[in-house]
Amino acid sequence: MRPIPPEARQSLHHLVPKLKGGKGGPVVRLHQICGVVYQTHHDVSPQYLY
């Protein structure tokens, strides 16, 4: 894992989406763009990926 440059936009993301029982669970700090990609892949039904 690489450090996020201090000037880059960052956000916290739940490892398990809140709507799937992750509320109050562990979170990670991600680069803003990586967080968008992560969220997109977890919001889409697995049948539509690849």
42 — pLDDT class (breaks 50, 70, 90): low
31 — pLDDT class (breaks 50, 70, 90): confident
Q: What is the predicted pLDDT for the residue at 6?
A: 87
45 — pLDDT class (breaks 50, 70, 90): low
Taking the C-alpha atoms of residue 15 and residue 28, their distance in angstroms, rounded to an integer, is: 7
The stretch 6-35 carries a mean pLDDT of 85
Q: What is the predicted pLDDT for the residue at 32?
A: 83
Do residues 41 and 49 make contact, with C-beta atoms less than 8 angstroms apart? Answer: yes
Domain limits at 18?
A: 10-48
Q: Which residues contact 39 (CB under 8 A, 6 or more apart)?
A: 13
Q: Is residue 23 part of a domain?
A: yes
Do residues 26 and 15 make contact, with C-beta atoms less than 8 angstroms apart? Answer: yes
Q: Is residue 34 part of a domain?
A: yes
Taking the C-alpha atoms of residue 5 and residue 20, their distance in angstroms, rounded to an integer, is: 30
Give the number of domains in the chain. Answer: 1
- Using the predicted structure, report yes or no on whether residue 10 has a pLDDT greater than 80: yes
Taking the C-alpha atoms of residue 12 and residue 45, their distance in angstroms, rounded to an integer, is: 22
